[in-house]
Structure 1
Amino acid sequence: MFRLRSCILTHLTSSPSASPIPFPLHHLLSAAAPAVSPRSSFAVEEYLVENCGLTRHQAGKASAKLSHLKSPTNPDAVLAFLAGLGLSSADVAATVAKDPQLLCANVEKTLPPVVVGLTGHGISRAEIARLVSLGRSIFRCRSVVSNLPYYMSLLCSTENLVQFLNRSFSLLGCSLEKVVKPNVAFLRKCGLRDHDISKMCLCMPRVLSANPERVQAIVACADSIGVPPGSVMFRHMLQAVAYLGEEKFAAKVEYLKSTFRWSDAEVSVAVSKCPSVLSRSKETLQSRSKFLISEAGLAPAYIAQRPAMIIYNLEGRIRPRYYILKFLKEKGLLHHNRDYYGVLTITEKVLMEKFICTHKEAAPYLAEDYAAACRGEMPTRFRFT
């Protein structure tokens, strides 16, 4: 019975034409399934275990959302539809566990139109099957199809559209006319290019799905730090504000100022060059400040101009490379002045070639000491008192 329904639905969903189904789908399904007495009880949890492959624990959680089901007719049709898309038994189990209400979707009016709409925008059946297996509720909403042309034009490629459906499905539930389009228009007025808005749509969809007044507040907050709206980093700043919220954003900026002894101008430079410093914990920022300013003796203004050094690993990179540079300078092995930030940012391979292997005769234990420093140890030869 399941195979027969699967064959029927495979034929229907694989048709290259988007023309209507010539006669009601439920006639085909009812012909393939025995009638169920309306008086008979339907054990949802047992069905989820035996027919969908869920564990007892998963079925217990999922059945609470399906308590209104009185018969297996529609769930059977949905399972047949999923099989027709090419989902394996394991995929079906994962899909139903994530979105149990998919079993209630209409297999005539909802699922086929959504699939046809997706294929019409260049998304392959294999990609559709993968998206379905993620348990996204978008496959229970026909409005998804009507919104796709707009998002396709905004994202510029099928690859981006697939990524959008994978990551930003919640944005699809927002009103295009009242929310998304006004936000996009406002961001364009602020100087963001379509490429920037497309990236934001993929990475931080909450900016586009927020109330337009909220988006204006986010822009004002980002602008207050001194990052010009039309600049390259403005999108990253908007994402940072949206991630933290205006109050936490302002508090983190103040914490950076006090921790690194920065002026308003210096914190503006640092944050605009590397917005990701805002996402670092207070403990991380404190430890970086203590080492870079108190131990390495770097000036706050120097760090503000090179804020990327704050995001590197302290024990595995910042500290050991400082010791290497200081050791070589103390021993007179550097023939010209080397900037610490330059040493900090080069790859491990270049560091070994130019600063360690080059001096293996004059400093035969340098590689060993560097490895120890990366493990958090302090070799005696790196102590200068």
Structure 2
Amino acid sequence: MKTAPMRVLVAPLNWGLGHATRCIPLIKSLQKSSCEVIIAANGAAAVLLKQEFPSLRFLTPPAAEIKYSRSGALFVWRLLVQLPQLFKQLREEKKWLQQQISTYQLQVIISDNRYGLHHPTARCVLVTHQLGIKSGLGNWVDTCINRVAFRYINQFDEIWIPDYQGPYALAGELSNPKNLPKPPLRYLGLLNRFAKEQPEKNSTSPSRLLLMLSGPEPQRSILEEKFRNELKQYPSAFTLVCGKPQQSNASLPSAAPNLELVYGAQESTIYDHLEAADLAREIENAAIIICRSGYTSLMELLPLGKKLILIPTPGQAEQEYLASYCMQKGFAISVTQEDFSLMDALHKAATFAYVPYHPPASDLDQLIRSGLNL
């Protein structure tokens, strides 16, 4: 008698696009194991995943409307003021999940940084690279925040870390801290939606530049405006991906003559958003990539051997740590958003001794099958 497929809920946090994009290889791996996947997502994360998986069922989980500061110095404080709202979301997530388990007979919950999505009647997995949280406010504050986080993390059955344990750890102390939570840890290696893509190799100028925007507002728009102003002084071809899947007119090819008038370079293109295969081609054709130092961006780009220029989101301690960590390792250079000058950054990249990052291969399909007892 044929057994029914395991029904799995995948629920990424909607803070930027990174949590959603790194769920793409997870979902594909679950499908290969004949699981029935249901996705719970909000906002831009939901839009992106619907583009990748149009045939899957989508649910809308509770979501707090978090507002971010335009000032990097106030970034953390603005979040701290909204802590009551965040704790309310966690309580609402628990109630919501109980209803969905009853309605859809969910057997497994895979939550990417949604700490409220756990229930005793299902196998609950938390996906996170932040076992050690950095606030930017000092060790004492970090210790207090991590204690609170562990109270929620310890309620999950297993923790899946999209990184390596030991010397190949890309997230450094974030994924390999001294103090660990109680649930079993499963290091998955890097979650990379481009790992299986085989883009066509086109002949390109070695000065081809790719700029990728991501992350929450208003900092995404602030950096986009800075990029557009700086690109007016750039003499060669470029591609700018604005990180706006909600406005996915895809590209602006019809505006090419206008782009040439404004920016001077032929074959320059601006996209609101690109799906994985199209973005993989742009990455393949780029000599240098400028992007945020979000962890998912690093997972996807560093193994491809491209020269990276990282601009951490102002005030976001995790991105500032990752950018500094990558520069210390020689994987990428880091510049602040406030001091960013395109020509200065490119000159710095031209003289920087980049060190390639070649982590060992990991079998994601086998790791997931083992984690879910498939």
Higher relative contact order by CA 8 Å / sep ≥ 6: 1 or 2? 2
Query: Where is the strand percentage greater, Structure 1 or Structure 2?
Result: 2
Which interval holds the TM-score relative to the shorter structure? under 0.3
Query: Where is the helix percentage greater, Structure 1 or Structure 2?
Result: 1
Larger Rg: 1
Query: What's the TM-score, normalizing by structure 1?
Result: 0.22
